[in-house]
Amino acid sequence: MIVGIDETGDFNPRSSKWHFFVGALVQDAKLPAFDEWERSVGKEVREGGEIKGRLLSEAHLSNFVEQVLEADPVVRLRPLVLMPKQNPAQAIEAQRRASLALTRRSVDRLKSEGDAKTANIAEQSGHWMRKRADGDYLWLAGMTRCLAHCLLDVIGISDQLAVDELVSIRFAVDNKYIRRRNLIGITTAARGALSAILNDLRPRRNDVIGHRMWHMQDSRHPFAELCVQPDGQWHFLPLLLDRCSFDARSTDSPAVRIADVTATIYSRVNNEVAPSPLITNLFYRCERLVGPAGRQTHLIFARPAPPQPTTA
């Protein structure tokens, strides 16, 4: 299985358009159906040999949902939405300061534990993130949250996957945004962001994902062997960093291309003034394929509270 992640939008901080990340959980058996769908669309929707979502007709998208997403085995989806304008500079800066404070505490802890190498990586992540523009920070926040939720979705459907497919899982993030930035910096910053997010998302034992984790650990499932540390706790970060390509080329990754076409559906229905009944129907059909880690995630940073007047 490979999980492909792609996004729509330019992350301009002044934009009032909805920007989407979509993760697509693609089993190996799905690839022939997607290849057949790609061959069915004409040259008029391609640029440089690559299919462009904005050029796809509603008929193309309808066939995609029916033949690729919904056909057995279904493609589970993980959508995340944000509007840059809803996250003003003040809110982003407050979130950035909070993240940097967590990073500094992690650096101090790692140094005290004698892990100088990881402490140095975490420290570099803080330096890199401090210099990023607001649009870059929004992109990183959305991408890492989408990636973390994708992993939980995979665990939630683990009973439907062959063991070898689960233990060989890979993650691919489209590189068209990253390639204009510093890949090493983004990878390093993603490490810190993912660590904090995964701690916040730790499932409870009595929910679907927590139950799957407990069952895999109790039965000594090979996937649990990859993620459970000697202390008996699940640690997902090493797996994600080892298995994720943050600079995947869409031309080389069918899963990223599936995520790209799906993101086109989400963007059209939410950004067009009057989306057609057909595209709206396709959107709701996609929503029924969202994985067990919860419904569509809306990323919006809390605005810092205004200063309170002092009393004499």
- Residue pLDDT, tens place only, 236-278: 888 888 899 888 888 899 999 999 999 999 999 999 989 999 9
Sequence spans of domains, the chain = 2-298
pLDDT, mean of residues 111-119: 81
Given this model, what pLDDT does residue 312 score? 41
Amino acid, single-letter form, for residue 189: A
CA torsion through residues 69, 72, 74, 75, sign:
negative
Average the pLDDT over 149-176 and give the result. Answer: 92
Q: What is the mean pLDDT of residues 174-183?
A: 64
- Average pLDDT, stretch 155-162? 92
Q: Which residues pair with 5 in a beta bridge?
A: 23, 173
CB 277 within 8 A of CB 24: no
Considering 74-78, 101-105, 189-193, the range whose residues carry the highest mean pLDDT is 74-78
Q: Contacts from 209-218 at CB under 8 Å and sequence distance 24+?
A: 209/152, 209/155, 209/156, 209/292, 209/293, 212/155, 212/156, 212/158, 212/159, 213/155, 216/155, 216/158
The whole-angstrom separation of Cα 26 and Cα 256 is 9
DSSP string computed for 190-259: HHHHHHHHHHHTPPPTTSHHHHHHHHHHHTT-HHHHHHB-TTS-B--HHHHHHHEEEEE-GGG-HHHHHH
Of the listed ranges 20-29, 71-80, 93-102, the least confidently predicted one is 93-102
**Both tokens assigned to 206:** 């009595």
Q: Is 282 helix (H, G, I), strand (E, B) or coil?
A: helix
The whole-angstrom separation of Cα 261 and Cα 55 is 10
pLDDT at 96: 84
DSSP string, 92-140: HHHHHHHHHHHHHHHHHHHHHTT-HHHHHHHHHHHHHHHT--HHHHHHH
The stretch 125-133 carries a mean pLDDT of 77
- Distance, CA of 221 to CA of 165 (rounded, Å): 13
Q: How confident is the model at residue 179 (pLDDT cuts 50, 70, 90)?
A: low
What percent of the chain lies above the pLDDT cut of 90? Answer: 49
Q: How confident is the model at residue 185 (pLDDT cuts 50, 70, 90)?
A: low
Identity of the amino acid at 16: S
Distance, in Å, from the CA atom of 290 to the CA atom of 25, rounded to the nearest integer, reads: 10
Q: Which residues pair with 290 in a beta bridge?
A: 77
